[in-house]
């Protein structure tokens, strides 16, 4: 009996131990499951946070990249604008220098032609050039006195014509000086063409030199002097004389023009068609050679107009001293 009880107790203990073992296994399994779930939750939550952080980082990187791209584009735009402005500035400077070079190329010969014509008229009025050489000179001196005077008149109008064709501005970039030069050129043209010399002196000349004041007094006493026809050239005739002497430089198709020299002019003058343009001026030169006092009024006014043009073209007196720009009055009887 005791043995049975002992066996039963052993079985009972065995059952209890087996129950405890199963409980423990279940507990371990539950804990393991909970751990796994916790790890999964943590992993899921951590992964979500990481994804959010990665997404935010990617957005930040993208935003900074876009900002950098915009900045680069802005800098490139600024660079392009600066380069464009520099190119425009350099192009404008080059064009201005080109205009200045062209203006200088034509101003200089125009100035010299004006100086030479003024000098010849001054010699005619003040030194009796025509009387000394056309009237009393030797044969070749007579030819020279007449023909070279014709040439100097036509040479001046030739350069005026070339300037009209080739140069838009004689003083580019200086509007006031440009207007002054245009006014002085118009005054010379009017001194040659006007039928009212008194009006030219009063309304076109900037200053009235003493020689013109004397002439004004004579005109008050003799109104016929106001319309003196001797040495008058209408504007169309002025241009025609200039065209006669205008020649292309280089090839015939060249866009540049120049003025023929005196030798070439003499050759052209041997052709009747060319000589005909100078017939009236020849007659006037002959008249002035013997009757300068009565018929030379226009020469005084032209002198004054040329002096003002020379002053405008050569304000620094580099080509002719200012004291050599005197307007000479007609000789007394």
Average pLDDT, the chain: 85
With respect to residue 81, please indicate whether it lies within any of the assigned structural domains: no
Mean pLDDT over residues 232-249, rounded?
96
- pLDDT category at 283 given cuts 50, 70, 90 is very high
- pLDDT category at 175 given cuts 50, 70, 90 is confident
Residue 283's Cβ-count burial label (10 Å; 0-12, 13-18, 19+) is: exposed
Distance, C-alpha 60 to centroid of its chain: 54
Q: What is the pLDDT of residue 319?
A: 85
Number of structural domains in the chain: 1
Residue 252 pLDDT exceeds 90: no
With respect to residue 292, please indicate whether it lies within any of the assigned structural domains: yes
Residue 150 pLDDT exceeds 80: yes
With respect to residue 31, please indicate whether it lies within any of the assigned structural domains: no
* Cα distance between residue 51 and residue 204, in whole Å: 92
Q: Which residues of 127-150 are buried (b: 16+ CB within 10 A; e: fewer)?
A: ebbbbebbeebeeeebebbbbbbb
* Cα distance between residue 18 and residue 92, in whole Å: 107
Residue 186 pLDDT exceeds 80: yes
Q: Which two tokens stand for residue 10?
A: 């052993």
Residue 3 pLDDT exceeds 80: no
Sequence length of the chain is 333
The structure tokens 């946070």 sit at 49
User: How would you classify the pairing of strands 246-248 and 257-259?
Assistant: antiparallel
Q: What is the pLDDT of residue 16?
A: 47
pLDDT in tens, 38-49: 666 566 656 667
Q: Which two tokens stand for residue 290?
A: 């013997």
* Cα distance between residue 13 and residue 26, in whole Å: 20
With respect to residue 82, please indicate whether it lies within any of the assigned structural domains: no
With respect to residue 14, please indicate whether it lies within any of the assigned structural domains: no
Host domain of residue 213: 106-324
Q: Which two tokens stand for residue 95?
A: 């064009």
**CB count in 10 Å sphere of residue 257:** 17
Element (H, E) at 246: strand 246-248
Mean pLDDT over residues 51-64, rounded?
78
Q: Which of 72, 151, 93 is nearest to 117 (CA)?
A: 151
In this predicted model, which residue has the larger pLDDT, 66 or 297?
A: 297
Q: What is the pLDDT of residue 14?
A: 54
Contact 181, 172 (CB under 8 A): no
Element (H, E) at 327: none
With respect to residue 44, please indicate whether it lies within any of the assigned structural domains: no
pLDDT in tens, 128-138: 999 999 999 99
Q: Which two tokens stand for residue 16?
A: 């209890």
Q: Which two tokens stand for residue 230?
A: 């001797």
Q: What is the pLDDT of residue 328?
A: 95
Q: Which of 196, 190, 282, 198 is nearest to 235 (CA)?
A: 190
């Amino acid at each position: 009996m005791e043995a049975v009880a002992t066996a039963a107790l052993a079985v009972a203990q065995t059952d209890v131990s087996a129950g405890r073992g199963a409980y423990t296994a279940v507990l371990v399994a539950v804990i393991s499951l909970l751990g796994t779930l916790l790890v999964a939750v943590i992993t899921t939550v951590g992964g979500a946070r990481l994804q959010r952080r990665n997404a935010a980082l990617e957005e930040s990187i993208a935003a900074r990249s876009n900002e950098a791209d915009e900045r680069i584009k802005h800098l490139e735009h600024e660079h392009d604008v600066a380069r464009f402005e520099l190119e425009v500035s350099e192009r404008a400077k080059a064009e201005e220098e080109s205009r200045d070079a062209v203006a200088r190329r034509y101003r200089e010969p125009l100035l010299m032609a004006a100086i030479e014509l003024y000098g010849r008229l001054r010699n005619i009025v003040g030194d009796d050039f025509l009387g000394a050489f056309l009237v009393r000179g030797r044969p070749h001196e007579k030819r020279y006195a007449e023909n070279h005077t014709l040439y100097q008149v036509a040479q001046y109008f030739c350069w005026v014509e070339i300037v009209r064709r080739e140069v838009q501005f004689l003083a580019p970039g200086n509007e006031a000086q440009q207007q002054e030069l245009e006014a002085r050129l118009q005054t010379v043209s009017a001194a040659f063409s006007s039928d009212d010399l008194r009006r030219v002196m009063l309304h076109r000349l900037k200053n009235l030199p003493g020689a013109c004041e004397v002439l004004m007094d004579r005109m008050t006493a003799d109104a016929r002097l106001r319309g003196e026809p001797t040495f008058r050239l209408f504007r169309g005739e002025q241009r025609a004389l200039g065209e006669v002497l205008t020649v292309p430089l280089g090839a015939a198709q060249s866009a540049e023009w120049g003025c023929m020299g005196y030798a070439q002019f003499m050759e052209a003058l041997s052709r009747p068609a060319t000589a005909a343009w100078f017939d009236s001026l020849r007659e006037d030169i002959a008249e002035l050679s013997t009757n300068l006092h009565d018929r030379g009024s226009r020469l005084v006014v032209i002198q004054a107009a040329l002096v003002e043009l020379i002053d405008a073209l050569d304000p620094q007196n580099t080509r002719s001293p200012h004291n050599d720009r005197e307007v000479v009055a007609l000789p007394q009887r």
